[in-house]
Chain A
Amino acid sequence: MVQRYDAVVVGAGGAGLMAALQLAGHGNVAVLSKLYPTRSHTGAAQGGIGAALGNLEEDHWEWHMFDTVKGSDYLADQDAVEILCREAIETVYDLEHWGLPFSRTPEGKIAQRPFGGHTKEFGKAPVRRSCYAADRTGHMILQTCYQQCIKHNVHFYNEYHVLDVLIEQGRCAGVVAFCLATGEIHTFHSKAVLFASGGCGKMFRVSSNAHSLTGDGMAVVYRRGIPLEDMEFFQFHPTGIYKMGILLSEAARGEGAILRNKLNERFMERYAPTLLDLAPRDMVSRAIYREIREGRGIDGKNYVHLDMTHLGKEVLDEKLPDITEFARTYLGVEPLTQPVPIQPTAHYAMGGIPTDVEGRVVIDEKNTPLPGLYAAGEVACVSVHGANRLGTNSLVDILVFGRRSGRHAAKFIHENDWAPLGDQADSTARDAVSQVLNSTGKERAADIRDVLQDEMMDKASVFRDAQGLTTLREKLGELRERYKRVKSEDRGKSYNTELLEVIELGCLLDLAKVLVESALARVESRGGHYREDFPKRNDADWLKHTLAYQTSKGIELRFKPVVITKFQPMERKY
């Protein structure tokens, strides 16, 4: 079945909805989501969205920009970071105008609080920059953007899973998707396609990510010869609920919570004397791993405590109600009186599909755009987060670059016609589905995924080295072989979610391989990528972005210079 649209947006989280709102009224637009839009993972973001409104104290977008660049370990492209921090301000006001129920200051302005790595006067002290709605900011952003989409009659295809992107004569011609309800394969012939399908945290055992975050958008594009940028940089959030990985927002530490080891020491004093518990996430996660490794985990186990007991009932009830409830529900711990067991949790892919500041997908080190193809949000790499993202900046990113990409795509569909659709455009997607449904193999997806998640957690998470990564590379090869024999017991048409999980696992396996190859190549430590065998940052050789291409001979790595405008790389201390 072929349907024709001016533009198709893939994914209905913050970035996709923001893009769709820009496209609405400019043509015939469809938004495809493998979920119902309000189930998207933007809704799980908690602590806030960073913008230098200065509602509680002096603040400037230049300070926000400096913090973002320094937080990125100088790998972010500074032209993009400048746009991010300037446009953050108007974006937050737009959200307020659309009805987002921000928490308020006594004068009725948008409330703001401190967050990791956000400072005043270029690093002097923490600043209140994170605009929040209790600890449900992401939920409110997702709801508000979806409400605007209802108002503007945006057309959604819910529970459609994208299997392939169509590239014809150097242009994007559409996508092929699988309708979960019917099992039918649909071709969406489109002038522009905008991927906003989120991250791939489910390649790790302990993750804050939803089950659905399997990197589908990244994998689908990568298989069509488009590179993935900086995939070795994966953020581990310091405070995930022990074993489950459920996120406990940095807002807790923003409100004053303290990390403690088994000796009850505030160990961050040793690692970041100025910002302490509000140091950036990569540093805090490494500090926790070191404490555990040196025997100071609680009861000798692999977790430490997040202590909120001194914050008081009012702060927990009004400013951190959800995470307080998570601790009660999932751990049986009362945060008012007991410390909460936490461990770092796989949280965010800094890397992704390379784009320019208009959200256009670029395919080489010269930033050549692929006409008609766009990406925004976690699936993309602009790059505003470089080697480590600051808290609150993912919400800024999805909205600022969701909007910019949507606006550019709106212009594009006015000025361009459809690229011709090739013969049997859906054949790759059809083959992939029928291969699984007709498989005579005996492998279960869950068994392969278990090994993948455990191995990635063990060898490619907070600490890495050549030996572990090399072993991991071999292991991934074995898993790829096993995946060829994977089966689906469910061979039905309607809501075959087992088939979907098999397809998702294929994406994770491809992306894990890209991550490992990129991590092996980068023989330095920077931001979220820490090599124990190369513990120092090496700007002379490695101040550059990685581009990983799938070729017939395996993965080919190329490199792209970093855009540096205002801030020269310096040693990163907090």
Chain B
Amino acid sequence: MNMIKKLGLPRIIIILFFLSLWVTAGVLKLYLPDYLTDSMIRIGMNLILVLAMVPAIRSGIGLNFALPIGIICGILGGVLAIEFKVVGFEGTALVGLGGFLFALSIAVPLAVVFGWLYGILLNKIKGSEMLVSTYVGFSIVSLFCIAWIILPFTSDEMRWPIGKGLRTVVSLESTFGEFLNKLWAIDLGKVSSSFRGLIIPTALLIFIAFVCLIYLFFSKTRIGIAMKTVGDNPKFATAIGLNVNGYRILGTILSTVLGAVGMVVYAQSFGYLQLYQAPLMMAFPAVAAILIGGATAKKATITHVVIGTILFQGLMTISLPVASTFFLEVAEFDGGNMSEVFRMIVQNGIILYALAQGGGSND
């Protein structure tokens, strides 16, 4: 009973759902290794975006719904890598590394600047961060919709053949698409035929583990501890002489930078950059994932990030094939887009639950 109270009903439902879907997948004789591979890639693809929530929550600004700011920086990095045709290490196993690093080297400084500006804004609106940040995120995305049309990019890979502006979806195939997915990937099918199709994206997992470790290390440093103090108890922090606003800005910058890095990783896994409206709602799955992992608007750890991403992305990967196969057998219709509806309900349900739990915590 205590356990139920601690986890909260929605999380228990989600965990049960997660387990039952994977079991159902087994019962329906779906080929699980394929979906395990898919899950691993999706977890790797999304984890850093989820991690971006941690510094925001820790420094006291709450769930960062303005993640699209970081995401836009990441996209800019990717777009510029294509524009300047940065690939690097062609002909070696590391092909794409150059493009990947180039994208990061553009995205991170941009994210620092945007995050800093945005942090200053957040210090002026204490108490309404979540709502305002949602609309700041939306505004930035729609502002960049205009930018994608008028910015003077020349690469034929990105421009519409006729008309103005960039395409809605740009392939990263020629630069760093699936670079981390494929690097040092271990095909377990070669070990035993019963694992056929199970591929471990080693480099991707190493990279996200690396980023998580850096963050873990940072949180143990003096600055990291001070930032957490500011988030936990701003009044106490002021009393012991910490610069509350400064640390909040630092948290915002870190969150935005992680958002940018997360986007570059996301794009390379996906193999495409999605421009225009695509980033509009991207903060919500990340917010939902960390909440599913057990975080609240005031408390978040890397464990929450890892558990949450595994649960949420694992759930999303398996719900599509299970729904479509199940409904095809039972009701003879394709339940494929059921998983999208299902995602909406899970994602927004958990956010709503977290908000209701925080009841009146605006002081």
Whether both chains belong to one complex is answered with: no
A-side residues, CB < 8 A to B, are none
B-side residues, CB < 8 A to A, are none
